[in-house]
Amino acid sequence: MSHSLQSDYKAKTTTGRIAHYVDQRVGVSGIVKEFGRKIFPDHWSFMFGEVALYSLVILILSGTFLTFFFNPTMVSVTYDGSYVPMKGVDMSGAYASALDISFDVRGGLLMRQIHHWAALMFMMAMTVHMLRVFFTGAFRRPRELNWVVGATLMIVGILAGFTGYSLPDDVLSGNGLRIIDGIFKSIPLIGTYISLFFFGGEFPGSAIISRLYSLHIMVIPAILLLLVAIHMFMVVIHKHTQYPGPGRTENNVVGFPVGPVYAAKAGGFFFIVFGIIALLSATFTINALWNYGPYDPSPVQAGTQPDWYVGFGDGALRLWPGVWPFPWEFEFLGGTWVLSVLLPFALMAGSVIMAMVFWPWIERWVTKDNRVHNVLDRPRNAPFRTGVGVAGIIGYATLMIAASSDLIATHFHVSLNDVAYALRASFLVGPLIGFYITQRICLALQRKDRELVLHGIETGNVVQLPHGEFIEVHKPVDEYRRYALVDFESPAPLPAQPNKKGKVNPIEKIRAGLSKIWFEDRVVAVTPAELEAAHHDHHSDNAVEGSVSASLEK
């Protein structure tokens, strides 16, 4: 035993010698063997997860820089920095240090800008990434748990952004906290206590900035990193999904090896993302907090906007009516129910989040499809799901637009009330219309695909046949392209199944009903037999297909 631990191996190349040295001590050869040539599929839509990851890295780098200069205290100081309009003003140490970072630390402003732009980019990339996963069905078995991890990341990301936005203690951030205070207070039974505990007494108190600081720079980043680690770990275990196409099956991965191509592209891409964020930071100022002044409960600025990723919450708060058609705040069971604040969150934001988190199981329950899926759906080949996704986007976008309802009203010279009515209506019916139209578009695209397979590509060349008829030359798609167009399933509705006792229970009846709606309208892939028939058709009426078309082409 001890003998075999002594290795006399002498590497010939320098790389070999370094590798051997490290390997003997930490055993990396296994890792290199496992990952060095691991295959990753390549597609532009797989890029957004990467952008999110890189933005997080940039957030941590820039945020760490900020911690060296930021002073998370609410102790009042008299400002004495070089920003003239605030000289001699009493403000919290936090706001004073945010001004110092902006004016008296060289490059501090740039770092604040990078940090904030990276935060916007992080949330944006996560959102688009999630949509990609949804629309392609990448959340299906075995990846359901990773979908949940991703959804959690999204929520924790919102918390990270909100706690960060609140740190500088300017008028906007304080006002945001005040709204949070109001939301806490609407929680039945314990809301007032949550508020008092959170602020260490009445709003704003003198504790909240340092509490948010521990959350923002320690607790939340730790949770984010842990979740990201789990997320990546699962990606490696499952191996990446791939789009359907020739040579791509449920049992293989087609793509590029990590070393060198994939790693080079992904690594290079990190610098590109960093470059984009730096460019934005150099040219567009966001959160010019010196203009707002230190937090003061009295003044407000109309038309101020929260960061976009909390916009949906703000929009939900705006849309819910307070006293129409009856007061949504009332006494019941010994307490005050503040439903006009509670419901937008519990119902509108909450149910959307819940539906999102549990979607993989909802879909599986209806479709009874519990198979492993490593090949993605093209969105058009899952018309119902794609429709639901678009409905969700429309609902979310309506809430986000509602967060700017005042700007819309002033910009288009319409009354605020009318904007609110229109948005309420759009929140209720917009998703339904969006669903319907999207589903129709998907079905139309599927038919177009069939057309393409059956009759080829229109070349735009019109030729006259010997007997005088004009026809357009169609060029058949090659077998590779054809396979990408026909490699999908189009399940029929699954009628209610009796259980073991031979009975159909009511829940199963609901499921069957949903399944009917889900799959009723469907377009199936072209089969070889159909293609054969189509060819015959065309040859008999002298249509130009296949070999005929080849001869007609110059």
Give me the least distance between CB of 237 and another protein, in Å please: 6
Kindly state the tokens that stand for 382. Answer: 């899952």
User: Which residues are CB-contacts of 442 (< 8 A; sequence separation ≥ 6)?
Assistant: 379, 380, 381, 382, 383, 386, 387
The least distance separating ligand HEM from the CB of residue 105, rounded to whole angstroms, comes to: 10
Q: Report the C-alpha gap between 518 and 521 in whole angstroms.
A: 8
Nearer to ligand HEM, 81 or 245 (CB): 81
Nearer Cβ to another protein (11/261): 261
Shortest Cβ 315–another protein spacing (Å): 9
Name which of 332, 436, 448, 427 is nearest 388 in CA terms: 436
CB of 5 to another protein, least distance (A): 27
- Which phi and psi (to 5°) does residue 63 adopt? -65, -40
Binding site partner of 493, from ligand HEM, another protein, none, Cβ cut-off 5-8 A by kind: another protein
DSSP secondary structure of 313-366 = HHHHHHHS-SSSSS-SEEEETTEEEEHHHHHIIIIIIHHHHHHHHHHHHHHHHH
The tokens of 424 are what? 């309420």
Burial of 43 (0-12, 13-18, 19+ CB in 10 A): middle
Binding partner of residue 519 among another protein, ligand HEM, none, CB cut-off 5 to 8 Å per kind: another protein
Question: Which of the listed partners (another protein, ligand HEM, none) does 144 bind, with a CB threshold of 5 to 8 Å by partner kind?
Answer: none
CB nearer to another protein: give 180 or 356: 180
Q: What angle do CA 464, 466, 470 make, to 5 degrees?
A: 25
Looking at the Cβ atoms of 131 and 266, the one nearer to another protein is: 266
The tokens describing 92, both together, are 């919290």
- Choice between 67 and 490, CB closer to ligand HEM: 67
Q: Which does 161 bind (CB under 5 to 8 A by kind): another protein, ligand HEM, none?
A: ligand HEM
CA distance 496 to 15: 63
Q: Which amino acid is at 82?
A: S
C-alpha to C-alpha distance for 351 and 316, rounded to whole angstroms: 12
- The site partner of 216 among ligand HEM, another protein, none (C-beta below 5 to 8 Å per kind) is ligand HEM
Q: Based on CB atoms, which residue is closest to another protein, 68 or 197?
A: 197
- Give the H or E element holding residue 190: none
Which partner, another protein, ligand HEM, none, binds residue 217 by CB below 5 to 8 Å per kind? ligand HEM
Element (H, E) at 90: strand 90-92
Which is closer to another protein, CB of 24 or CB of 285?
285
Interacting residue ranges for ligand HEM, rule: CB under 6 A: 59-60, 63-64, 66-67, 70, 98, 101, 112, 115-116, 119, 122, 157, 160-161, 164-165, 167-168, 216-217, 221, 224, 287, 289
Task: Choose between 341 and 397: whose C-beta lies nearer to another protein.
Answer: 341
Shortest gap between Cβ of 493 and another protein (angstroms)?
8
| Partner whose binding site includes residue 260, from another protein, ligand HEM, none (CB under 5 to 8 Å by kind) | another protein
59's contact among another protein, ligand HEM, none, with CB below 5 to 8 A by partner kind, is ligand HEM
Residues 6+ apart with CB under 8 A from 35: 236, 258
What's the min distance (Å) between Cβ of 373 and another protein? 12
